[in-house]
């Protein structure tokens, strides 16, 4: 996990700082245990057979009738459909939760690959959020982001 969490290309558009030590990754994982137990935030490690080595992660946060998700994949596994497969799995899972009516995700306006993943997963671009999200690995200033969503009909 440290390998991709410390890769500047992988973390370029993340809304958290790139990891600089294995200890920082371990601390981030420990902090997520309580959130999982409370049913507020769920995190999964993406792996591929046969060795089940971590190649990325996907997280989903629930808040009342809405949910939001994000993901990343190690650079050597880009363009293999893993992010799309994970995003589609989140879409399917979240709409099996009866209390959720809306699923959303954001991506930086320059991250066109991520925008395409969200579209392939069935989300629709709703808006451009102006100066909405700080991407600490790019800038200290808030950047524009695309807002994507899918709603229960």
Q: What is the pLDDT of residues 117-129, one digit of tens each?
A: 999 999 999 999 9
**Confidence band for 133, pLDDT divided at 50, 70 and 90:** very high
**Cα–Cα dist 59/41, whole Å:** 7
- Closest by CA to 63, choosing from 43, 35, 40, is 40
CATH number of the domain located at residue range(s) 2-151 in this protein: 3.40.630.30
**Cα–Cα dist 139/148, whole Å:** 22
**Confidence band for 1, pLDDT divided at 50, 70 and 90:** confident
As a whole number, mean pLDDT of residues 67-78 equals 97
pLDDT tens by residue, 17-64: 999 889 888 887 777 777 666 778 999 999 998 988 999 999 999 999
3-state SS class at 68: strand
The yes-or-no verdict on residue 103 having pLDDT over 70 is yes
The count of other CB atoms within 10 Å of the CB of residue 123 is: 22
What does pTM read for this prediction? 0.91
Count of all residues that appear for the chain in the document: 153
| Residue 75 in tokens | 């650079």
Dihedral sign of CA atoms 19, 21, 83, 10 in order: positive
In DSSP terms, which residues pair with 43 in a beta bridge?
A: 59
Phi, psi of 75, rounded to the nearest 5 degrees: -55, -40
């Amino acid at each position: 996990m440290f390998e991709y969490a410390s890769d500047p290309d992988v973390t370029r558009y993340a809304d958290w700082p790139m990891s600089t030590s294995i200890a920082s990754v371990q601390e981030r994982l420990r902090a997520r245990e309580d959130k999982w137990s409370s049913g507020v935030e769920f995190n999964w490690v993406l792996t591929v057979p046969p060795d089940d080595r971590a190649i990325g992660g996907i997280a989903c946060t629930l808040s009342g009738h809405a949910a939001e998700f994000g993901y990343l994949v190690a650079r050597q596994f880009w363009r293999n459909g893993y992010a799309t497969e994970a995003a589609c799995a989140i879409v399917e899972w979240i709409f099996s939760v009866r209390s959720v009516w809306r699923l959303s995700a954001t991506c930086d306006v320059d991250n066109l690959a991520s925008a395409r993943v969200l579209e392939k997963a069935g989300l629709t671009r709703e808006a451009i959020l102006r100066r909405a999200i700080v991407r600490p690995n790019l800038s200290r200033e808030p950047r524009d982001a695309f807002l994507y969503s899918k709603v229960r009909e």
